[in-house]
Structure 1
Amino acid sequence: MTRLIPVVVLIVAFTIFSVAHLALTPRDQVRGLAKPAWIAFVILVPIVGGVMWFAVGRVRAGESPRSARRGPIAPDDDPDFLRKLNREKAMEDRIEQLEQELRDLDDDPPKG
C-alpha cells in the first residue's frame, strides 16, 4: 500500500501539470481538439490524456501556429485578406483623386 502512494502522487502531479500547461497555452497553439475537450480528456484519462496533449495537442517549438490551424479562417483574421483590402482601398482613393483632378481640369476655362 505504501508503494502505491508515490505512484498516485506522481499521476496526480502529472495531471495537474498537464491541465495547467494546457490552460495557459494560447488557443491558436492547440491542435486536434478544442481546449475544453483537451482539458476534459486529460482529467478523465490522466496519464494517456497528458501524454497525448504533449505529443499531439500542442504546437511544438519551431512550428508555426498557423500550420496548426485546420479549416478556413475568418476573413477578418486573415492578414493576407486584410492587406488586399487595404491595397484595394488605396487604389480606389487614388482613382477618385485622379478623377477629381480631371474634373477640375475640365472645369477650367480655356486660356487664350
Structure 2
Amino acid sequence: MARLLVGVVALAAAFYVYALVDCLLFPRFRVRGLPKVAWVFVVILFPVVGGVLWFLVGRGRKRSARGPVYRTIGPDDDPEFLGGLRSDPVTEQQLRDLEQQLAEVEDDPDSKRTDNGRTER
C-alpha cells in the first residue's frame, strides 16, 4: 500500500510541475477563461485540480481566433499582387509609335553623334 501511495504522490508531483511549467511558458494570447497570472495562481494553490482545470479550460487551442495567424505567401500566390499586374504593359500601337520615333531619329541627317552614343540636334 505504501508503494502505491508513493507512486501516486510522485505522479501528482510530476503532473503539478508539468502543469505549472506549461502554464508559465504558454503564450498569453492563447490563454482562455482567466488571465494568465490568475491561472498560475490556480495551478499553484490547487496542485492537481488546478492543473486539470488548466488543461481542460485555460489552455487554448493551437489556432485561437484572438491570436495572430501569420502565413507567408509568395507574390505569385497573392491575389492583390496579381491583380495589379497588367498582362501586356505595352500595346501594339505604343510599340509602333516608339519604332516610328526611333526611325525618325536615325534618319534625321541633322543629328550628330556624341561620345556617349546619344544624338544631339
Specify the TM-score bucket, using the shorter chain as the normaliser. Answer: 0.5 to 0.7
* Partner SS state of residue 3, structure 2: coil
Contact persistence 1:14–1:47 (CA under 8 A):
yes
5+ residue gaps, structure 1, are 68-112
Measured in 1, the distance between the counterparts of 2:66 and 2:45 equals 29
Contact persistence 1:29–1:59 (CA under 8 A):
yes
* Structure in which a larger fraction of residues adopt helix: 1
* Equivalent position of 1:2 in the other structure: 3
* Partner SS state of residue 66, structure 1: coil
Alpha-carbon offset, residue 2 of structure 1? 2.4
Alpha-carbon offset, residue 24 of structure 1? 0.6
* Equivalent position of 1:64 in the other structure: 64
* Equivalent position of 1:21 in the other structure: 22
Q: TM-score, normalised by structure 2?
A: 0.50
Measured in 2, the distance between the counterparts of 1:58 and 1:3 equals 30
* Equivalent position of 1:80 in the other structure: none
Number of matched pairs: 66
* Equivalent position of 1:96 in the other structure: none
Letter in 1 for 2:18: F
- C-alpha root-mean-square deviation of aligned residues, in Å? 1.6
* Partner SS state of residue 3, structure 1: helix
* Equivalent position of 2:51 in the other structure: 50
Alpha-carbon offset, residue 48 of structure 1? 1.3
Q: TM-score, normalised by structure 1?
A: 0.53
Moved over 2 A (4+): none
Contact persistence 1:30–1:57 (CA under 8 A):
yes
Structure 1's 65 and 21: CA in aligned 2 closer, same or farther, altered over 3 A? farther
